Every structure is written in C-alpha cells, then in structure tokens.
Amino acid sequence: MHKIALEEERKEILKKYRSLLSVCRPNTSKEDRKLIRQAFDFAMQAHKDHRRKSGEPYIYHPIAVAKSVVEEIGLGVTSVVCSLLHDVVEDTDYTLSDIEEYFGEEVARIIDGLTKISDIFDQTTSVQAENFRKMLLTLSDDVRVILIKLADRLHNMRTLDSLPPKKQLKVANETLYLFAPLAHRLGFHAIKSELEDLAMKYTEPEAYNTIAQKLADTQEERTRFINTFTAPIRKSLQKENLEFTVLARTKSISSIWNKMKKKEVPFEEVYDIFAIRIILDSPESREKADCWKAYSIVTDIYRPNPDRLRDWISTPKANGYESLHTTVMSRQGKWVEVQIRTRRMDEVAEKGYAAHWKYKESKAGESGIDKWLKRIRDILKTSETDALDFIDDFKLNLFSDEIIVFTPKGELRTLPVGSTALDFAYSIHTQVGNNCLGAKVNHKLVPLSHTLKSGDQVEIITSAKQVPKPDWLKYVTTARAKGKIKTALKEARKKQAEEGKEILERKMRQLKIENTQENIQKLLDYFNLPSPLDLHYEVSIGKIGQKDLKNYLSEKERSGFFSYLKNPFARSKEPSAGKEPGVDPIRQQLKDKPDTLLIGDSLENLKYSLSPCCSPIPGDDVFGFVTINDGIKIHRNNCPNAVQLMSKYAYRIVKAKWMTNKSIAFLSGIRIKGIDDVGLLKNLTNIISSEYNINIRNIHFDTHDGTFQGTVMLYINDTQHLNNLIKKLKKIKGIQKVTRIGKMESESEA
C-alpha cells in the first residue's frame, strides 16, 4: 500500500513539474528548459526526505513558488531556478558554494539573499527590524529576492490550514503587517488582495465566511445586472472601431469588509461590490486618447458622479498604476465604478513592476522601481537605530498612499499622505529643511506643521540663523525628515556638551574632585544619566550646577560607600539588551502552568486585565499579551492592534480562553441609529433592563433633524447574550442599525 502511495506521489510531482514547464514554455529556449530541469532534479534530491506540515512531499512547495513567479509575477528563467532552490541552503546540507558551482554566481547571490531573510519571517520569532533592514538592502541590490519571497509567502498562505491555530494567527497578522503592503507598493494588486483575503480567513473567520456566502448567493443577480449594464457600452465601443475587452471584477472580501467597517454599513449597502473594467488594445502612441474616448462613450450613456473621477493616466501612482476611474449611475438606480485602461496598463496593474520590464522605461529616463529603491536606500541611510521605529517609518513612508505637490517652479514632488510643509522642505534638501523658517502654500503663509494636500504649490522660506528644534519631530512624518532632524539635534547637543565638559572640569577642580573615569562614572550613577555626553550637556544648560555637585560630595562622605545608589528619586536603570522588565517574571510563571491562560479562573494568580481597545467579552476569540508594567492584557483576535502585536512581539503572545462555568458581567457597548420617535428610549431601556435583565452603566443619545444616534454601555455575560439583545433591539420600530462598539457585526446577527 505504501509503495502505491509513493508511486502516486511521484506521478503528482511530475504532473506539477509539467504544469510549471507549460507556463514557462512560450518564453523559454531548449537551454532554459535544461537549466530548469537541472534545478528541479537538484531540489528533488535535496528535499527527498522532507515533508510539509500537511504531510505532502516538500517539493510541492518550491514548484508552486516557481509557478507563481512566472504566472502571477511574470519573472523569467533565473527566477524559476532560484524559486526551485530557495529553501535548499536553509533546510539541507547543501551550501552556497554548491549552488554557485552548479548554477553560477547570479543564482547563488539571489539564493543568498533569500536565505539571509528567511529567519525574519520564521514561525517562532517576531519580525526583527535589523534583519528586515538587511532584507531591504538585498532588495535594493536585486528586486527578484523580494519578488520570490512574495511568491513564497503567497503559497504558504494558500496552505496555512495545516498549521496549528496560534501559528496561523501569527503568520496571517505578519502577512497583513508587511507582505500585503509590500505587494501593494510593488504594484501587485491581485497578490495584495489575495494575501489580505487569506489573512482575514484566519483573523476574522466569521466575517470572512459571511461575506463569502453573500457573494456566492448574489452571483447570479450580479451577472444579470452586469450584462444589462455593459450591453450599450459594448455596442458604442464597437461602433467607434475600438478593440476592447470588458470584464467585471468583484471586490475582494477584505476590501468589502473594510468598507463595511469604515462606512458602518451592512453588505447590502456597499454599492461598489464589483467594478466594470474596459481594457483597450491600443498602441502606446494612442493610449491616452483612446482611454478618454472610451470615457466619453461611457459618460454619454450613463451620468457620472463628478466627485468620483480619478485620472491616474495623466499622473500615474507611485507604484506604476495607470487607469481612469469613474462612477456612473445605472438605469436601475445603482452607482457602478468603471475602470478604463489599455492592455499594457492592465498588465502593469496586475503584475506590478515586473510588467514594467517588458516595456520601455518612463520618459524621464528613470523607472518607478528605481525611484522607489532610491527611497529605500535613503531611509536605510537616515534611519535611527531603534528597531521598531525603523519598521514604523518604513511602513509609513513606503506602504502609504501618496500626495503630489509642486515647487514654485512647477516641479512635481511625491510625498506620503499626512506630510507637512517641513517634510516638503527636507525632501528638497537637508539644508533647506534645517534652515526652514516657514512656508507658503498656494501663496498663503502657513506654519511648519501645516499638512499638505495633493495639488498644493509649496514655497519654503529659509533663514541662515534658523536651526532644528526638538519640537520639529512632532511636525514631520517622513523618515527622511525625522532622521535629518535627529542628526542635527545630536550634533547641536554634542557641541553644547563640549562647553559643558570644560565647565564640569573647572567645577570639579574647585571642589577637589579628581577628574578620573571612575569618578565620572560615579557622577553618572548619582545623577542617573546614561553617558558622559548627557552629563556634560546637563552641566552646560545649567541643570546640574555647583550646588548639585556639593550635594553629591556630602552624600558620599555621609555614607562612606556611595549611598546615592539607594537614592529613592533615581530612575530605574534600563534593562540590558534582550530583557524587558515585567515580561520575564510573567513568562517564567507561565512556564509552570498549562500553555493556555484561563480567563475567569479563580485559581489563576497571574495578573491579567481586559484591554479597553477592543473590550473582549466571553465568547470572543482572544489572546493574551504580556505587557511590561500591567501584567497580561486580553485582546480579541480581531482587535485593531492585533496585527502589530502579533507581528512585532510574537514572543509575548500567550493563548487564552474563557472559563464557561462562571456568570461574570463584562462591560461592553452597542451603537444604535434610527428615526427619532416618541417612547423609543423607553422601549429600549425596557428590553435591556426588564426582558434581558442587563445592567446599564451609561446611555447617551443625540438627535438631529428627526434622526438619532447613541451609545449604551452594558454589563454582558457573553457574546451570545449580546447578540440576542442586538437581534431583539433591531426589531423595535424606528431602529435602523444596532452594532457592537469596536466591531462591525456580520449580518448573521441581524
């Protein structure tokens, strides 16, 4: 039986390999196919005894990654070879030298990059920013490293079912935190959407399954509507002799869910569940004209919403995206988004920068990917050493949406959303930023902290006497500006400390304190300062004077052995690297107990509390997070902060579940909207207090033009208790919507 199973596996492996070859074939020569076969045989031999968590042969994974690299990203033979070999050095006894000997220096270099970054995203540790920085340095050398890593993560997410729930959550949150934004930034819209959907399947399974079911239920109705809507457009486009394809793309489940939460509407009220895409087969010289011609045809048939026109053809997005978007009113009274683009633009939108390589570079002579990599190098150079700050800066500046602003001479500048006039000054030149006195936006004087909008024209006013101030760090959002300000402040502090050093030496001579390294260390301990530079700086600004030094001397004499170490006012020392006060003792306590924290267990003497950011109640899926000062905080799995906590601090996450044999009341809240009516509040409170026997902590309502909205904070036993109440309240005449605070409830609760 075992022999038959192995034979079946061999057949399946060959079938997958032939499938890979078939997607490569149109662009491969005989030599290329020979090289791919060599890599496949090498990987087969290396992984022959390995299996995935699902029990499948390990070779399934590299073949799937190689296929994604060709089919979904659009890379060539070298990347296919590297994908097949990407885990060989990390997981087997083969070395980089072996790879270089068999496949050459270029393949070895890419495999080296992939091996270096693999431990950043393993299953046990949190994201390590120093390694992440190394990954970006590798990326800026050869972008294929990150593209193969992206395909690797995509296949891991598609096969995440085989991992235990705790690891599923960690990998899903890490994907949301770094990989999905990275895919978006590199222009891979389809991969970004799939990664977000797959992550949501594990982070918010209830909402995911509800929306997936509703999409399936409404598929037939959508198809009928789309056919009716597109028929007159097709007819008119044919009349104008335009070559085209019309597609209908359904919005991803995660996008629908985000829209439901942002707008606080149910599934039925999300009007852009799908978009119509018109793809034109136009030569590059006629692309712009044909797109606007198609736009004119669509808006002649259907009335457009003037506020919803987006022209990314004249000004493409930073990730290379080009398209015309408009929203029009259908004859059935529904708004429909229509996207108009050419075949080239569509391929760039789906396959990102990889597709750019097929086409000539931008007219400016520098492609979008080059500009992006330049910005990565810039951040790597200017970033401070704080690891978590670095990741936040990276995410903020490279994963965010962007605005386009202009210099006084009309030169275009791209900045992250939320950038200020001071950010703009530093984007021009470090010296312009350091000497920035103020700014004029659209010819009006504004403060340095003024937030810029797309289309603003900005003029910077400078003065040679101006220098950066600590407050400036609050005025900027870009990593470049923050890094330059911190560098300038450090330099100024060093200069000031030089003066303080001379003053301190003079004062020590007067008080007959010998200027030795040992005595300087004792002064640092006494004043609780981290370095001599800080001591010299505080002396120079007058914070430490003659009187303080005399106090130090008298205390030293009084104790005989430096009782200043017992100084009750001294701040506690920072923990040594890798240690976190408050975390280690709790982790030690947890080692002596079951690996799951039981919430509500009276025998459990670990200090824990419910986090106010998501207010979990029994029935919610939860996890514990070990804090530095407040014991363990309990969060819901779909808490807004869960993505960051699980990505940055995976080692501080503990499993948690509720004890069900207790009847404890937990504070929760509901938000209610509807039409104002006499007696409505009385009906509400009767149901809550009398029928459901629930204690109300507080109630707040506002009315406006015949409508009302308000919140009620309640003491609830569990999620079932709360859901039953929500269902009942929705039946009251005049009430239109009832949702739990902090969560957009799925419609199954309606």
> Would you list the DSSP string of 166-200?
HHHHHHHHHIIIIIHHHHHHTT-HHHHHHHHHHHH
Query: C-alpha dihedral over 364, 368, 370, 371, to 10 degrees?
Result: 90
Alpha helices for 466-600 (secondary structure H): 472-475, 479-510, 517-527, 532-540, 546-559, 583-591
> How many Å apart are CA 148 and CA 81, to the nearest integer?
11
Residue 253 and residue 305 in contact, taking contact as beta carbons nearer than 8 Å: no
Q: Is 81 helix (H, G, I), strand (E, B) or coil?
A: helix
Give the chain's count of helices (H) and strands (E): 30, 20
* Known active-site residue 91: yes
Token pair listed for 339: 């996207």
| CA-derived radius of gyration, the chain | 31
CB atoms inside a 10 Å sphere around CB 705: 6
Burial of 85 (0-12, 13-18, 19+ CB in 10 A): buried
Alpha-carbon distance of 734 to 167, in angstroms, equals: 45
Which helix H or strand E contains 736, and what residues bound it?
strand 735-740
Going by C-beta distance under 8 Å and a sequence separation of 6 or more, which residues neighbour residue 573? none
Do 513 and 553 contact (CB within 8 A), yes or no?
yes
Q: How far apart are CA 536 and CA 524, in angstroms?
A: 10
Q: How far apart are CA 208 and CA 138, in angstroms?
A: 36
* Cα–Cα distance measured from residue 412 to residue 739, given in angstroms and rounded to the nearest whole number: 44
Which tokens in the block code for residue 680?
A: 């409505």
* Structure token pair of residue 600: 């509500």
Place of tokens 């924290």: 597
Cα-Cα-Cα-Cα dihedral of 245, 251, 252, 253, to 10°?
Answer: -150
Name which of 224, 214, 217 is nearest 253 in CA terms: 214
Confirm if 147 and 69 have CB atoms less than 8 A apart. Answer: yes
Catalytic residue among 32, 56, 90, 499: 90
Q: Burial of 611 by CB count in 10 Å (0-12 exposed, 13-18 middle, 19+ buried)?
A: buried
* DSSP state for residue 530 in the 8-state scheme: S
Strand partners, 674: 708, 735
Sign of the dihedral through C-alpha 571, 577, 581, 585:
negative
Active-site choice (12, 91, 378, 749): 91
Q: Is 433 helix (H, G, I), strand (E, B) or coil?
A: helix
Q: Taking the C-alpha atoms of 55, 59, 61 and 65 in order, what is their torsion angle to the nearest 10 degrees?
A: -170
C-alpha–C-alpha distance, residues 174 and 199, integer Å: 9
Which residues are designated catalytic? 90-91
